[in-house]
Amino acid sequence: MSNSISQRFLPIVESMRYSLGGGGKRLRPLLVLASAESLGIEPDRVLPAAVAIEWIHTYSLIHDDLPAFDDDDVRRGRASSHKRFGEAMAVLTGDALLTESFGLMLKLSELGHFTPTQVLNGISLLVQCSGISGMVGGQWLDVSSEPDLFSLPEVEFVHIHKTGAMILGSVLLPTRLHQADEAKIQARRRYGEALGLAFQISDDLLDSEPNIRYARGPRKKPKPCYTKLMSPSEIKGKLNTLIDSAVTAIANEGEKASALRGIAEYVRTRKK
């Protein structure tokens, strides 16, 4: 093995580039940068960590589009990875993005931006928010839960893990790299938890199907979402309450937290 990539593996790199270059809102990396700024860390110092989070997120979307999950042909306005490159390459592209994201995290210490211990703390958070106790666990509940059991607490539990954990992780990552004091960590935790759930609620509101979401994949049954359990105005009310909580959580953080406030307001009103 060597650090440079053999010509023979370039098709994998092309497929990674295709999915990463397909646009998207870049919400999670923006949260990493905004959270770093709020702590007085120069955003450039956390850039590899911001990219690592986007790579993990992109892997999850590639795998979520596979026939075994949602079987989606289109992602970010273009053919989904497996439609463009085939299923085997889509699986490997997701695997490569996840694995290489940890290589990006290592760059943080190689570049001298943070100490190895700080980077390990950051990697440990990424494992928590993207793995079994976070996104992967939430995805499992999403695909395996029975529609009859879609109570509000159950839907929230799925959303907090599947979608919320990576958003919370994006906000908390700079606190792990920088060792922020406890009050600052807790303020960002409250902000990230509220924003993570709010983001999924806003996603449910934006969904084109008004009442219920169906997975196209082998499950062919409804997915946990709010639109089945609450009216649109109730959902909007919940979204506003959560965004208000997120903004309140960082109310004492001063001007340096203005980007975090801006992102929360974007999630309140987003149209895509």
Is residue 222 within the footprint of ligand GRG (CB under 6 A)?
no
Instruction: Name the residue nearer to ligand GRG (CB basis): 34 or 180.
Output: 34
25, 67, 214, 241: which one contacts ligand GRG (CB under 6 A)? 25
Stretch that binds ligand GRG, among 78-86, 108-116, 133-141, 185-193 (CB under 6 A): 133-141
CA 189 to chain centre: 15
Q: How far is the CB of 239 from ligand GRG (least distance, A)?
A: 14
137: which 2 tokens? 């666990």
DSSP the chain: --SSPPGGGHHHHHHHHHHHTS----HHHHHHHHHHHHTT--GGGGHHHHHHHHHHHHHHHHHHTSTTTT--SEETTEE-HHHHH-HHHHHHHHHHHHHHHHHHHHHHHHTTSS-HHHHHHHHHHHHHHHSTTTHHHHHHHHHH--GGG--HHHHHHHHIIIIIHHHHHHHHHHHHHHT--HHHHHHHHHHHHHHHHHHHHHHHHH-SSSS--B--STT-SBPP-GGGTS-HHHHHHHHHHHHHHHHHHTGGG-GGGHHHHHHHHHHHH---
Piece in contact with ligand GRG (CB under 6 A), picked from 20-28, 170-178, 186-194, 208-216? 20-28
Of 203 and 244, nearer to ligand GRG (C-beta) is 203
C-beta of 60: minimal distance to ligand GRG in Å?
4
Binding mask 138-157 for ligand GRG (x = CB under 6 A): -x------------------
In the bound state with ligand GRG, the residue whose beta carbon lies nearer, of 39 and 197, is 197
Least distance (Å) from ligand GRG to the CB of residue 26?
A: 7
Q: Which is nearer to ligand GRG, 29 or 122 (CB)?
A: 29
Instruction: Determine, following the binding rule CB under 6 A, whether residue 38 of this chain makes contact with ligand GRG.
Output: no
Q: How far is the CB of 89 from ligand GRG (least distance, A)?
A: 16
Site map (CB under 6 A) of ligand GRG, residues 47-76, x = contact: ----------x--xx-xx----x------x
Instruction: Kindly report the backbone phi and psi dihedral angles of residue 74, in degrees, each rounded to the nearest multiple of 5, phi listed first.
Output: -125, 135
Tell me, by CB under 6 A, how many residues bind ligand GRG: 17
**Subset of residues 159 to 188 that bind ligand GRG, contact rule: CB under 6 A:** 162-163
Binding span for ligand GRG by CB under 6 A among 11-19, 114-122, 134-142, 234-242: 134-142
Q: Over the Cα atoms of the chain, what is R_g?
A: 19
CA nearest neighbour of 190 among 249, 134, 131: 249
Neighbours of 111 (CB within 10 A): 11
Q: How far is the CB of 75 from ligand GRG (least distance, A)?
A: 7
The residue ranges that bind ligand GRG (CB under 6 A) are: 24-25, 27, 57, 60-61, 63-64, 69, 76, 135-136, 139, 162-163, 200, 203
